[in-house]
Amino acid sequence: MRALAYYKKQDIHYAEDLPEPSIGSAHELIIDVAFCGICGSDLHEYTEGPIFLPKDGQTHPLSGQPLPQPMGHEMTGVVREVGSGVTKVKVGDHVVVEAGCGCKDLERWPKSQHYGKPQCPACQAGLDNCCQYAGFTGLGVVGGGFAERVVVGEYHAVPLPKDIPLDVGCLVEPLSVCWHALKLANFKAGASALVLGSGPIGLATVLALKAMGASQIVVSEPAKIRRDFAEKLNITVFDPSKHGTDAIEQLRKISTSGNGFDFAFDCSGIKPTFDTGLGAITYRGTLVNVAIWGKKLEFDPMEVTLKEKHFTGSIGYVVSDFEEVVAAIHAGRIKVDEIRHLITGKVDIRDGWEKGFLELMNHKETNVKILLTPNNNHELD
């Protein structure tokens, strides 16, 4: 099988001899992959990893599967084959894959170190995105969407209406990350919001906020090219680099209340954006960390205490987030044209390393989301 796969530390390359996926349990299905987006997590696996992927010579503790593995976890496709117990979808259906893997999937992997053991406390509580063994299809546990075909559990296959193009459907995954964060923060229609950073997750947060009825959305981003991406979504942009130490006060002034925003979403994960988000929310406002941090952070807890602010973090998504995002796109609350605005390239997996990974690593400021397709499926747009 043709795929762009992770072989070992700093070795990701195209190959044509990867094993074909096969159905191993009654509730699995095989998908012919249409498109799969490159995520920042994929880039980190190359530059800093392995993080989620197994180390050379090891297997993943959940699945027991070794390297090489096709990467890619933001995927759509067409159902090719279903297991005997699958009822959620049928052959020929379009689907988007919720890529999380955890305790709920153990029946699929009898070689798992945890097979036959009780679910972890998070999964017992229904919080499978917080599973202590969590990983992803295409990011360590099993092979993913940078391949011609992929096998997934029925639980993770979300039907995609035919009026949602398969390329656009890849953005359901990052949109679900942001949708989950808004729900976790108890975001309500009519509230104001500040988004820190306008990379892929920042822009997806804007689309989720619009769908949930935000009254005001401001994006703070120092890079002009990225501000331009945000501005095309018809929201207010702010350049913090022009205001120095006065940026927080200026943001508070442009909020609807003049006293700060109801919500702030840190989609960058650096100390200046955290400090800005915390300082720019109003009394009893909420700061949500959506970013993945590589280091610890010091902050003044009295900034939270004296103004009774709230701070929380959000990780990943669950299947219901995917279902709700798909429904929002289908209903027009998230516009297909605005999602497509985030797609800055489509590349065959044969060229996925040079024109996908390297393009994003070397020209991050001019790209948002590059999609790989295993069979040059541009006719599926």
Q: Does residue 304 sit in the same domain as residue 353?
A: no
- Give the ranges where 100-141 is alpha helix by DSSP (H): 121-124
Q: Does residue 154 sit in the same domain as residue 192?
A: no
pLDDT at position 380: 43
Q: Does residue 249 sit in the same domain as residue 139?
A: no
List of residues 6+ apart from 337 with CB closer than 8 A: none
Look over the chain and give the mean of its residue pLDDT values, rounded to a whole number.
93
Q: Does residue 161 sit in the same domain as residue 246?
A: no
- Quickly tell me which residue has 């305790």 as its tokens: 103
| Residue 208 scores a pLDDT above 70 | yes
Q: Does residue 359 sit in the same domain as residue 272?
A: no
Q: Is residue 336 part of a domain?
A: no
DSSP run (H or E) holding 288:
strand 281-289
Q: Is residue 325 part of a domain?
A: no
Q: Does residue 155 sit in the same domain as residue 181?
A: no
CB count within 10 Å of CB 344 equals 16
Q: Is residue 331 part of a domain?
A: no
CB count within 10 Å of CB 159 equals 15
Amino acid residing at 333: R
Express each pLDDT in 31-64 by its tens digit: 999 999 999 999 999 998 898 899 988 888 888 8
Q: Does residue 23 sit in the same domain as residue 73?
A: yes
Q: Is residue 322 part of a domain?
A: no
Range of the domain at 208: 176-313
Q: Is residue 353 part of a domain?
A: yes
DSSP run (H or E) holding 354:
none
Q: Does residue 290 sit in the same domain as residue 224?
A: yes
Q: Is residue 320 part of a domain?
A: no
| Residue 365 scores a pLDDT above 70 | yes
Sheet holding 100-101, edge to edge: 100-101, 135-137, 140-142
Q: Is residue 328 part of a domain?
A: no
Q: Determine the angle formed by the axes of helices 319-330 and 172-184, rounding to 10 degrees.
A: 110
Q: Does residue 360 sit in the same domain as residue 296?
A: no
List of residues 6+ apart from 123 with CB closer than 8 A: 102, 103, 104, 131
| DSSP β-ladder status, 94-97 and 74-82 | antiparallel
Cα separation, 322 vs 110, in Å, equals 27
Amino acid residing at 242: K
**What pLDDT band is residue 376 in, cutting at 50, 70 and 90?**
low
Q: Is residue 333 part of a domain?
A: no
Alpha-carbon distances of 277 from 4, 204, 210, 268, 270, rounded to whole Å? 38, 18, 19, 11, 11
DSSP run (H or E) holding 14:
strand 11-15
- 22: tokens are 């096969």
CB count within 10 Å of CB 256 equals 15
pLDDT at position 381: 44
64: domain CATH number is 3.90.180.10
- Prediction pTM value: 0.94
The total of structural domains in the chain comes to 2
pLDDT over 70 for what percent of the chain? 98
**What pLDDT band is residue 295 in, cutting at 50, 70 and 90?**
confident
| Residue 144 scores a pLDDT above 90 | yes
**What pLDDT band is residue 110 in, cutting at 50, 70 and 90?**
confident
Q: Name the β-bridge partners of 36.
A: 75, 372
Express each pLDDT in 174-202 by its tens digit: 999 999 999 999 999 999 999 999 999 99
Q: Does residue 167 sit in the same domain as residue 187?
A: no
Q: Name the β-bridge partners of 217.
A: 193
Cα separation, 75 vs 71, in Å, equals 11
- Residue 305, classed as helix, strand or coil, is helix
pLDDT at position 109: 86
Q: What is the mean pLDDT of residues 241-249?
A: 92
Express each pLDDT in 262-292 by its tens digit: 999 999 999 999 999 999 999 999 999 999 8
- 59: tokens are 């297997």
Nearest to 325 by CA among 343, 340, 341, 339: 339
- Residue 315, classed as helix, strand or coil, is coil
Q: Does residue 167 sit in the same domain as residue 184?
A: no
- Residue 373, classed as helix, strand or coil, is strand
Instruction: Report the alpha-carbon angle 79-76-108, nearest 5.
Output: 60
240: domain CATH number is 3.40.50.720
User: Computed from CA positions of residues 24, 56, 177, 164, in that sequence, does the dihedral angle turn out positive or negative?
Assistant: negative
Cα separation, 15 vs 372, in Å, equals 14
Q: Does residue 25 sit in the same domain as residue 163?
A: yes
